[in-house]
Structure 1
C-alpha cells in the first residue's frame, strides 16, 4: 500500500461576469447570506416569516390571518402553516371570527410578546451589522430601494409570459 497522496487544493472559482451582472444572482446570494446570519445571530427556531407575522399581529391586533398574509408577503396557505406552527409553540392565538368561522383572528400571547421583543432586539442588531458597509445617511434609502424592488419583482412574477424584445 502506498502513502496517501496529499489533497491538492482546488482554486476557488469566481462567479462569471454575466452571473454577477444578473440581479437575481445578487438577490439569491444576499438571501442565502441573510438566512445564515439570521440563524446564527437572531434565532435558530423563529424564522424570518414568523417574525414578520408576529410583527404584523402587533401592528394590527385582532386582524384576520388572510388580511395579514399580504402585509408580510406570504401566500395564504404558507401563512396558515406559519400560524399553525406558532400557535403550537404558544406564541399566538387563532380564534374564529364571530362573523365568519372560516376567518381566523390572530392575537399575540404573553409568550409571543416576549419572543417578539427578544427577536426584534436581535434583528435590529443584525440590521445594523448588515448595513454597516453603507454610509449611515443612505441606509434608509437602500432599505427602501430593496422593498421597492421586492414589490416590483412580485408584480413581474404575477405577469404572463415576458417578451424577448428589449
Structure 2
C-alpha cells in the first residue's frame, strides 16, 4: 500500500471509507463532475450560474437584480459580478429602477433569449443523462431531494454553531 501511495504502480488508490461516507465528499465529486460535463456538453463559456440568472430573468421579467439573487442561490455581490459579465456579453440589459436608482432591473436581450433557448435544450439533454442511472419514475423525486438537501445545507452554513459545538 505504501508503494502505491508513493506512485510506484501508477494506480490511484480508492478513497478511504470514512471519506466516501461523508456527504460533502460525494457532493464535491458530483459538483466537479457536473462542472466538467457542463463545460463539455452544454457551454464552455456560459456558466451554470449565468444560465440560472437568464432562466430567472425569463421567469420573472422586469425584476431587480437583488431580488433575483436569492432565486438563483447567489449572494448579491456574486450576482452583481455575474450580471456585469452577462451585460458585457450582450445577453442582458441592466437599467435603473424608476423608483430607486440603486436597484438594477434586468431584462434579456435578443441574444440572451436566443442563448437561453439553445443552452436550455443542451441542459435538458445533460440533465437526462445525469439521471440516466435513476429509474424514470424517481427522477423528479431525486431532483427534489437534491434541492431539499441544498436548502438544508445553506441553512446549516448560516448557523453560528452546530449542535455539540457549544
Please state how far the C-alpha of 1:13 moved relative to its aligned partner.
0.4
Aligned to 2:139: 139
Aligned to 1:96: 96
Query: What CA distance in whole angstroms lies between the structure 2 residues aligned with 1:123 and 1:33?
Result: 14
Q: Which runs of 5+ in 2 are unaligned?
A: 1-6
Deviation readout 1:64-94 (Å, 9 max, x if unpaired): 0000000000000000000000000000000
The C-alpha deviation readout for 1:90-111, integer Å capped at 9, x for no partner, is: 0000000000000000000000
TM-score between both structures, scaled by the size of structure 2:
0.93
Structure-2 residue corresponding to 1:4: none
Aligned to 1:83: 83
SS at match of 1:164: coil
3-state SS of 1:126 partner: helix
- Name the larger-Rg structure: 1
Inter-partner Cα distance in structure 2 for 1:109 and 1:11: 50
Q: Which residue of 2 aligns with 1:159?
A: 159
* Equivalenced residues, count: 159
Return structure 1 stretches of 4+ with deviation > 6 angstroms. none
TM-superposed CA distance for 1:12, in Å, is: 1.7
Between the aligned partners of 2:128 and 2:73, the Cα distance in structure 1 is 23
> Which residue in 1 is equivalent to 2:106?
106
Deviations 1:9-58 (A, max 9, x none): 32220000000000000000000000000000000000000000000000
Distance in 2 between residues matched to 1:46 and 1:89, nearest whole Å: 10
Unaligned runs of 5+ in 1: 1-6
What RMSD in Å do the two structures reach over aligned CA positions? 1.2
Q: Secondary structure at the match of 1:95?
A: strand
